[in-house]
Chain A
Amino acid sequence: MQQPGRAAEIKANGIGKSFGSFRALDNLTLDIGRGEFLTLLGPSGSGKTTFLMILAGFVQPSQGKLFSDGVDITNRPAEQRAAGMVFQGYALFPHMSVEQNIAFPLRVRKKSASEIKNRVGEMVERVGLKGHEKKLPAQLSGGQQQRVALARALVFEPGVLLLDEPFSALDKSLRGQMQAEMKRLHQETGTTFVFVTHDQSEALALSSRVAIFNHGKLLQVGRPDEVYDRPANRFVAEFLGEINMLPVKGVRPADNGATGLCEDRAVNMRCKAEAIKGDAILAIRPEDMSIAPEASISENGIAATAVASTYLGAATKLDLTTRQGARVTVSVPNEVAAAALSKGNSVWLTWPAEKGFLLPDGGQ
């Protein structure tokens, strides 16, 4: 249907937006690659939706420039940008049938009747709405409305598709199904997708890159595994999933990384300590820690006592308290958790050196 070359490449250069005294977006510079699936992730009010609205042309930035394929589009009105957009709540035309909704962008572009018919038919089939063409949006389920919204936004082969929390109204199982479908549509069309969500698991599952926002600032952008395994700061680390934070003292460079003291035991980190020296926070994901009866001196480990457990089916989430009172959560096999709890006294928490990373102490 579409040549991947038609996907747009977008550059945001120092984009800022203020609403009165509220700084919604601050000096954002970001390159969105041709055909990539970029997710804008952040809590509500973090600026991610404002940025999407600026990309769509519905909101005019207070500062900065926006380029599409090298052309300055900062002042180009929304109707001339040709960005497909899927809104939260879908924003379908309630007085038009499924077919008419999907045909709308083609009618606007004055395509011939036969071309409209062909492309709408193709799109209806692609999103699995065959047999529903004559229905009004109100007669469709949430998932079906979602498909109409996607079809309507993609039918005119836009260079970029903007999606504003499109799955927030769907129940969990349908959401998973629609996510898979969207991933497929992305591969098939080759269009650049920019997707806004506050759901980190959705962001990690779908995107080729994730951009994390907070308080109007872009904190980090990278591949899902990069931002998950090597978050730039504490906010990113915590926002992307549960994480344990342990204070480390006397951090200094060492062979292959850094070393420091955690609960009076020497621990090794693979990451570089150049930026961080002295006191810092050691962050480790729950699934990267294991429970052992003992830890050798060459191994990273701290002593802790199991206090509570949550059965999750495939694994158990175990809450522990370290000797110095830090709270730690680990995800371990069910029988390991049971054994740790029944013992009542101390166990060892261990983790491989490459799984722990350092964050500045006290910073965000």
Chain B
Amino acid sequence: MRGTLSDRMGAALLMAPLLLFLVLAYAWPFLGVVKWSFTLPTPGLGQYHALLTDELVQSVFIRTLRIAAIVTIVSVTAAYAITVVWVRGSPVQRVLAEFCILVPFWISVLTRAFGWVALLSNRGLINTWLQSIGFISEPLTLVRNEFGVVVGMSHFLIPFAVFPLASAMRSLDERVLLAARGLGSSRMRTFWTVFVPMTRSGIIGSALIVFVFSLGFFVTPAILGGGRSVMIAELIYLRIFQSPDWGLGAAISVVLVVFVAALMALLFRYVKPKQLV
């Protein structure tokens, strides 16, 4: 622990407004949601029992986990490649990579989702181009399904996956890579047997961040999934706002929060918060 007692108290004081905000705007209302889950429509564990038996809820849970897993693999892999260029590329490559990482943050998630619709739909850019060069005769179904959801979500999450990876790659001792080459290892072999294993904490951190974010995605799957690839957040929305089944919606929310909290706890066992930025 660094710093004097007064330093630490000063830091605590500076953080207090944030904590207060989280308690008032988040924790307190969430307790209300927890209460609903046990009381609506009738007091008891009925909603949690329904969760275990309702096939629709279960299929949505499984789909959410599957999409989150695929998005995690796609995003972390793509982010790894971008980060290698960003951290270890030539000066020009670094600037380009940085641009690619930062620009998506300036564009709203809605704009990006509709952008993908424009690209991927039956009469979108990709299908019309593939048809015009005669590569396909019938348009491919690229959107309003899981594929579209995975593309849209990965695109959104890749920049977030970059930061833990960059932090791990930056703290790596360059001499270890030289040592590997000096001992006769090719660049490829050095990359796979030394570089990748040494950035393991970054990979774990990056994967958990993407996975956790994916679980709560709402807008992107709603637009690019076209109602056919409903994920858990959309299901909660439907239960609360469309079929007034507040109790079940609340119970799903509670399960999701507990699951995410458990993942976060796991995340912080492997990586320090400092490594994530």
* Contacts from A to B (Cβ < 8 Å): 56-58, 77-85, 87-89, 91-95, 104-105, 108-109, 152-153, 156, 162
Contacts and interface: CB of A to CB of B under 8 A. Distances in A.
B178 A91 contact: yes
Contact of A78 (B181, B193, B194, B198): B181
B17 to A, nearest CB: 40
A58 B180 CA distance: 11
A152 B175 CA distance: 15
27 contacts: A57-B182, A58-B181, A77-B181, A78-B178, A78-B181, A79-B183, A79-B186, A79-B187, A85-B179, A85-B182, A87-B178, A89-B175, A91-B179, A92-B176, A92-B179, A94-B198, A95-B197, A95-B200, A104-B180, A104-B193, A105-B185, A108-B183, A108-B184, A108-B189, A156-B183, A156-B184, A162-B182
A82 B184 contact: yes
B179 A79 contact: no
Contact of B180 (A57, A77, A81, A93): A93
B173 interface: yes
Contacts, number: 68
B197 A109 contact: no
B189 A78 contact: no
A87 B184 contact: no
A152 B180 CA distance: 10
A84 B183 CA distance: 6
A92 B186 CA distance: 17
A90 to B, nearest CB: 8
Contacts of B200: 95
Given A78-B178, A93-B180, 19 more contacts: A58-B178, A78-B181, A78-B182, A81-B182, A84-B183, A87-B179, A89-B173, A89-B175, A91-B176, A93-B179, A93-B194, A94-B198, A104-B185, A104-B193, A105-B183, A105-B185, A108-B189, A152-B183, A156-B184
Nearest to B190: A79
Interface string B36-66: 0000000000000000000000000000000
Given A87-B179, A91-B175, A91-B179, A105 B184 contact: yes
Given A94-B198, A95-B198, A104 B176 contact: no
Contacts of A95: 197-198, 200
B180 A56 contact: no
A19 to B, nearest CB: 16
A194 to B, nearest CB: 13
A80 B193 CA distance: 18
A210 to B, nearest CB: 24
A81 B193 CA distance: 20
Instruction: Point out which of B179, B182, B189 has the most chain A C-beta atoms below 10 A from its C-beta.
Output: B182
Nearest to B177: A91
B178 A108 contact: no
Contacts of B193: 104
- A-B CB proximity, top 8 nearest: A91-B175, A91-B179, A105-B183, A85-B182, A95-B197, A108-B184, A91-B176, A78-B181
Contacts of A89: 173, 175
Contacts of B184: 79-80, 82, 105, 108-109, 156
B176 A58 contact: no
B170 to A, nearest CB: 15
A125 B50 CA distance: 65
B172 to A, nearest CB: 9
Contacts of B198: 93-95
B154 to A, nearest CB: 28
A59 to B, nearest CB: 10
A162 B178 CA distance: 13
A93 B195 CA distance: 10
Contact of B182 (A58, A88, A93, A94): A58
A232 to B, nearest CB: 32
Nearest to B176: A91
Contacts of A153: 183
Interface in B178-229: 178-187, 189, 193-194, 197-198, 200
B175 A104 contact: no
Contacts of A94: 176, 198
A156 B179 CA distance: 14
B255 to A, nearest CB: 36
A139 B141 CA distance: 55
